[in-house]
Structure 1
Amino acid sequence: MGEAALKIIAVCVSAIMLAGCQSTAEFQASIDGAKPAPASIKAAIVDAARDQLFDPYSIRDAEISYMQLNKTNGVHWLCVKANSKNRLGGYTGRQSVEVNIRNGKLIGSLENSPACNNSSLKWQRFPQLEALKNL
């Protein structure tokens, strides 16, 4: 297995562990106390998308959830939904990714996280991510 594959597995495992540390009540409390993500976090997500997506310049229909704090472990998290092209050149449909943040730095992500499907999440448009198509 290559170094890149091991890195991806490590990031996924850490994201699963981070998400699983909250009780249902703590999870809902973190959603209730959510705040919009600061510009620095949005910029870091845009930079990560440029490096990790196959065709980041095709992103459309992007949204970002408000940022929550997991008080159990001190990690902030949020979700991003967007539609982009795959390797075959077709749009995949809107996919979600949970992003974990510690001390203002992105520390992991989990694609199609169940947390991102919670109907209590507050969402806003993410035009900075869609602006990649203008580069």
Structure 2
Amino acid sequence: MKRTILLVGVGVLSGCVSAEQLDKIYGSQMPPTAAERAAAITYIKSTFYDPYSIRDASISNAVTLLDTGYRSICVRFNAKNRMGGYVGMTSTSLRFRGASVVSSLQDAPGCNTDRLQYSAFPELENL
């Protein structure tokens, strides 16, 4: 149930969000604020298994999730798993209320669209 709610929250669940609404969501893109970037780093450091192994990190522009008051930012990177091996590039969507991360979703479909612009995230690689 939680997974479905998060998917609806990022506006990517087929049939639940119209093409017009997606245009509005992706049209609201703007670079993440310094506070959002810092909150993303803090959240990843406290929740991921080996955040110090992160490489090839990038961060998306922030999008506003319609009239919910939430903003969403995607982070892509390659990191080690519990076995000590790199798992390849993964995407995680972080949902913000203000400058605080309130939820996340790994491999969120909305993070893997060409409509979302990414830039380098060296602060996450240099923990």
Fold equivalence (TM over 0.5): yes
Residue of 108, 117, 121 corresponding to 1:126: 121
- Residue in 2 that maps onto 1:17: 8
RMSD: 1.7
Q: Could you tell me how far 1:17 is from its partner in structure 2?
A: 3.4
Q: Could you tell me how far 1:49 is from its partner in structure 2?
A: 1.0
- Residue in 2 that maps onto 1:106: 101
Residue of 57, 60, 66 corresponding to 1:65: 60
TM-score by length of 2: 0.88
Contact kept in structure 1, 2:74 and 2:92, CA below 8 Å: yes
| Aligned ranges 1:39-118 → 2 under 5 Å | 39-118=34-113
Unaligned runs of 5+ in 1: 1-8
Q: Distance in 2 between matches of 1:58 and 1:39?
A: 22
- Residue in 2 that maps onto 1:30: 25
TM-score by length of 1: 0.83
The aligned length equals 123
Q: Which has the higher helix share?
A: 1
Report the residue type matching 2:28 in the other structure.
G
When structure 1 is superposed on structure 2, of 12-21 and 114-123 the one drifting more is 12-21
When structure 1 is superposed on structure 2, of 70-79 and 123-132 the one drifting more is 70-79
Q: Distance in 2 between matches of 1:68 and 1:22?
A: 15
